[in-house]
Amino acid sequence: MKVITEENLTSWRRHLHQNPELSLEEHKTKEFIASILKEYGIEYQETLETGLVVIFKASVETKDTILFRADIDALPITEENDVDFKSKNDGVMHACGHDGHTTMLLGSVIEAADYYKNNDTKVNSIFVFQPAEETFGGGNLLINDFDFSHYNILASYALHMNPDYPEGHIVSKPKEIMASANEYRIYIKGRAAHVGLKNTGIDALNVATMFFQEMLKLNALHTKARNTNIIHIGKMYGGDAMNVVAENAYLEGTIRTYSMEDLETIKAAIENTRVGLEHLTGASIRVDFAEGYPAVINDEVPYQVIREVIEKENIDYIELEEAYLYGEDFSFFSRLSPINYSFLGLRNEEKNYVSGLHTPTFNFDEKILKVGVQYYLGILKYYNE
């Protein structure tokens, strides 16, 4: 790093960690990022209410562009770390590493400004500070809000902290790396009755348990055995009193898959189950699907780029053996270009940096953030040299 220092990265990360904000509420986060950009004389554009975009133009006239993205929102988790930069916002925490993601991108922007100022460049670059990854699909919202049409985006890149792999290692793989994440909600309407006249009612709880059992069979009956899919029921309740036949019941859950074909097959099977149980039980059943995040599929060319950059920059690398079944809205950036999504390992058992994502003790050593900056700058140089 030529302009910023490790102390800068540590300071910025700890400020962000102490001041986490939930999705689409990242107003102070945006103000902090903007203040650092202003300090270094870097212009930016605003998008949505809490997003920022920085664009550097190449020395030559061109539409060819590369894009880097960081998510900036936090989670509704109460932090349990005993550190002097612990979250000041009760019940809100950077438990997924977005404070690190933001810091790495901020450092990369400042280094990129110096690079564009002092070198002949062939491609433009866009740096996106994106709100609302955790809940609202902020990637999709931002792409709809900001006008990218003036640019031929060759590839989009993102990094995510990962406690499963040793600190300082870049971790990636070709093709699928994160699953699609979609939600469903099932509303069951039966008919209430006194338990002594149970035969006159329609037990919504009984229908819910039947639906539950059928859901457990869907993978085996309708999708290929070699495909990885999860159909999860996370909440189920119903009834009003112990001596009343339940009139209402409710189930909700998530579907995780890498295959959009399998997703449509699963949704159709759930709908067929609904129709069958209505005929069998006489209950009224409504199934609502909430469109979530598509699967994150790493494209071949950006993947080969990061492999070359990692080798040239002498960064440690691990090839991911199996994709994760987490959801991630960076998948929406495939609307703009081919993409690559990779991880930055943070695991250090000696320092007890081992807690998983979305846990109240998640933490990492800020020394790894310089690897992220080196990685992003390496990609930038690759396209310009």
Annotated binding site for Mn(2+): 96, 98, 134, 160, 358
Q: Interhelix angle for 98-118 vs 6-18, to 10°?
A: 140
C-alpha distances out from residue 320 to 29, 90, 110, 217, 345, Å: 32, 35, 30, 30, 11
How far, in Å, CA of 199 to CA of 245, rounded? Answer: 9
Q: Which of 133, 8, 114 is nearest to 70 (CA)?
A: 133
Known binding site: residues? 96, 98, 134, 160, 358
Secondary structure in 3-state letters for 120-165: CCCCEEEEEEECCCCCCCHHHHHHHHCCCCCCEEEEEEEEEEEEEE
Range list of β-strands (E), the chain: 45-47, 51-56, 64-71, 124-130, 152-166, 170-172, 175-178, 180-189, 193-194, 229-238, 244-245, 248-257, 284-293, 296-298, 317-319, 339-347
Tell me the Cα Rg of the chain: 24
CB crowding 16-37: b at 16 or more within 10 Å, else e: bbbbbbbbbbbeebbebbeebb
Can you tell me whether residue 211 is helix, strand or coil?
helix
Grouping H, G, I as helix, E, B as strand and the rest as coil, residue 231 is strand
Alpha carbon distance 293, 192 (integer Å): 38
> Taking Cα atoms as reference points, which of 332, 369, 329, 373 lies closest to residue 23?
329
Q: How far apart are CA 284 and CA 211, in angstroms?
A: 13
| Cβ atoms 171, 344 nearer than 8 A | yes
